[in-house]
């Protein structure tokens, strides 16, 4: 996790061979006050659970990359003007 303004690493967690990045999203961010912050994440984290947790629990906004691994969402966004 990186502060975009200062470019300082704020936190990191190991991803061992028994799990993947998806399971490390919440543990990485859990202890932080994210009220009013915008969380950015790559396409792997474009998950309803991550979006819901970010907004409802942490009171944060989010920008997640949408690629074709989310075909329905990708099509909906692609159709926007």
Question: Which is higher by pLDDT, 1 or 78?
Answer: 78
Structural contact between residues 55 and 62, judged by C-beta atoms closer than 8 angstroms: yes
**Enclosing domain of residue 74:** 35-78
Q: What is the mean pLDDT of the chain?
A: 92
- Residue 41, domain member (yes or no): yes
Count of domains in the chain? 1
Residues 6+ apart with CB under 8 A from 15: 21, 24
How large is the average pLDDT for residues 44-66? Answer: 96
- Residue 16, domain member (yes or no): no
- Residue 74, domain member (yes or no): yes
Task: Looking at mean pLDDT, say which of 6-10, 14-18, 50-54, 68-72 comes out highest.
Answer: 50-54
- Residue 28, domain member (yes or no): no
Give the whole-angstrom CA distance, residue 8 versus residue 10.
Answer: 6
Task: Say if residue 48's pLDDT is above 90.
Answer: yes
Pick the closest to residue 51 from 76, 29, 71, 74 (CA basis): 29
Question: Mean pLDDT lowest for which of 2-11, 54-63, 64-73?
Answer: 2-11
Give the whole-angstrom CA distance, residue 6 versus residue 64.
Answer: 21
How large is the average pLDDT for residues 6-28? Answer: 88
């Amino acid at each position: 996790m990186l502060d975009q303004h200062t470019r300082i690493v704020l936190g990191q967690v190991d991803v061992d061979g028994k799990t993947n990045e998806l399971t490390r999203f919440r543990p990485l961010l859990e202890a932080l006050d994210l009220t009013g912050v915008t969380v950015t994440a790559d396409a792997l984290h474009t998950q309803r659970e991550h979006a819901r947790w970010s907004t409802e629990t942490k009171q944060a906004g989010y920008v997640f990359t949408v690629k074709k691994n989310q075909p329905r969402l990708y099509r909906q966004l692609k159709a926007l003007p």
